Amino acid sequence: MLIGAHVSTAGGASKAIGRAEEIGAECMQIFASSPRAWKVPPMAESEVEKFKAESERAGMGPTVVHGKYLCAIGSPDPELVEKSVAALTAELQTATQLGALGVIFHPASHRGQGFEAALPQFTDSMKRILDDVPGETLLMLETSAGSGDHIGSKFNELAQIIRSVDDPRVAVCLDTQHVWAAGYNIADSGGLEETIKEFDSEIGLDLLRSVHANDSKRELGSSVDRHDNIGEGLIGSDGFKNIMGHSAFADVPFYLEVPGFEKKGPDAPNVEALKKIRG
Ligand SMILES: [Zn+2]
Ligand SMILES: [Zn+2]
C-alpha cells in the first residue's frame, strides 16, 4: 500500500514530483490542466520526458490524473456532455503520455433526469473516450457522496455503468470521505466488512484500483462532500487503522485530498499520519 497525495503542477507537470517528495508522498495525483477551465492544452513532449525522468529518479508512482470538476457526462445538456467528453478524452491522452495509472473522474450529477435516463449517454460517452485513446490507461469512476442528483453514491450504480461500458480499462476510485457521507460506515470493523462485501458483489474487488484517503468533516450518511485532515475528522485515526488494515486495500495506492493543517492542501503531517497507521 503506497501513500500519496494530490500535488500542484504549477510550472509544469514535472515540478509536481519534487513537491510530492517534499511531503513524503510515495505516489501522486495531479490535474492535467486547470480544473476550472475547459481547455486541456496538449503537453509538450519535452515536459513529458522531464516528467518521466523525474518520476524515475524519485521512484514516484503510480501517478493518477484527476479529471475536471466541470465534467458531467450524465447531464441532460448535450453541449455540457460534449465538452465533458472532449476534456476527459484529452485528460486520458495526457495520462497515457505520462505513463499514469489512469484518470479518476466524478460521475457528477444527472441533473434531475434520473440515473436510468442518464445511463445510455453515460455509457456511450465513456466508450467514446476509451475508443479515442488507445492504450492501457484506466478510466476510474470515483464514488460520490450523494448530494443532490449525483451519480455513484451507491456501488450498484457504478456497477451498472461498468457492466454497460464493458471495457477492461474501467475501474473505480473509492473516496473514503465520499463513501462515509454516502452511508457506508467504513470506520467500524463490521461496517467496513459489509462495505467491502457489497463492493465485491456489486463491482468486484479487482476493480478497486485507487483510494482517495480523506477524513470527514461531516457525519455518516450526511451526503455532504467535505474532506478533513487524517485524524481530525469523524472517520478518525482508528477508522483509518480499520481501513488500512483490511486486505482489500493491501495493494491499492492511497491519495490524500485533505485541506492540510495549514490549509494549503495535502502536507507532510497528513502523509506522516497515514504512514504511521500503515505501520
Ligand atoms: Zn475526486
Ligand atoms: Zn470530495
Kindly give the distance from the C-alpha atom of residue 107 to the centroid of ligand 2, in angstroms, as a whole number.
12
Domains of the chain (ranges; CATH) run 3-278 (3.20.20.150)
pLDDT at 32: 97
At which residue does the C-alpha cell 491519495 appear?
A: 255
Supply the pLDDT for residue 218: 98
Which pLDDT tens digit goes with each residue over 120-164? 999 999 999 999 999 999 999 999 999 989 999 999 999 999 999
- Measured CA distances, 243 to 6, 19, 111, 192, 215 (Å): 20, 26, 32, 7, 12
- Give the model's confidence band at 207: pLDDT under 50 very low, under 70 low, under 90 confident, else very high: very high
Angstrom distance (rounded) from CA 62 to CA 102: 9
C-alpha cell at 112: 434531475
- The catalytic residues are 36, 66, 69, 106, 142, 175, 178, 212, 225, 227, 257
Grid cell at residue 74: 450524465
Indicate the pTM of the whole model: 0.98
Nearest bound ligand to the CA of residue 105: 1
The alpha carbon of 220 and the centre of ligand 2 are apart by a number of angstroms equal to 14
Q: What's the pLDDT score for residue 40?
A: 94
Contact status, residue 196 vs residue 205, Cβ threshold 8 Å: yes
* Grid coordinates of 163: 457492466
Q: What is the mean pLDDT of the chain?
A: 97
The ligand with the least distance to the CA atom of 71 is 1
Q: Which of 89, 6, 73, 78 is nearest to 40 (CA)?
A: 89
Confidence category of residue 39, pLDDT binned at 50, 70, 90: very high
Cβ < 5 A residues, ion ligand 1:
142
Q: What is the CA(158)–ligand 1 centre distance, in A?
A: 15
Integer-rounded Cα radius of gyration of the chain: 18
**Which amino acid, residue 109?**
S
Q: Using omega within 30 degrees of 0 as the cis cutoff, is the peptide bond preceding 266 cis?
A: no
Average pLDDT over residues 17-21: 98
For residue 22, the number of C-alpha atoms closer than 13 Å in the C-beta half-sphere is 10
Q: Measure 66 CA to ligand 1 centroid, in angstroms.
A: 7
Instruction: Give the rounded percent of residues in the chain with a pLDDT score beyond 70.
Output: 100
Ligand nearest to the CA of 173: 1
Contact yes or no for 252/209 (Cβ under 8 A): yes
> For residue 175, which phi and psi values (nearest 5 degrees)?
-95, 120
Of all residues in the chain, the percent with pLDDT exceeding 90 is: 99
* Separation of CA 26 and ligand 1 centre (Å): 19
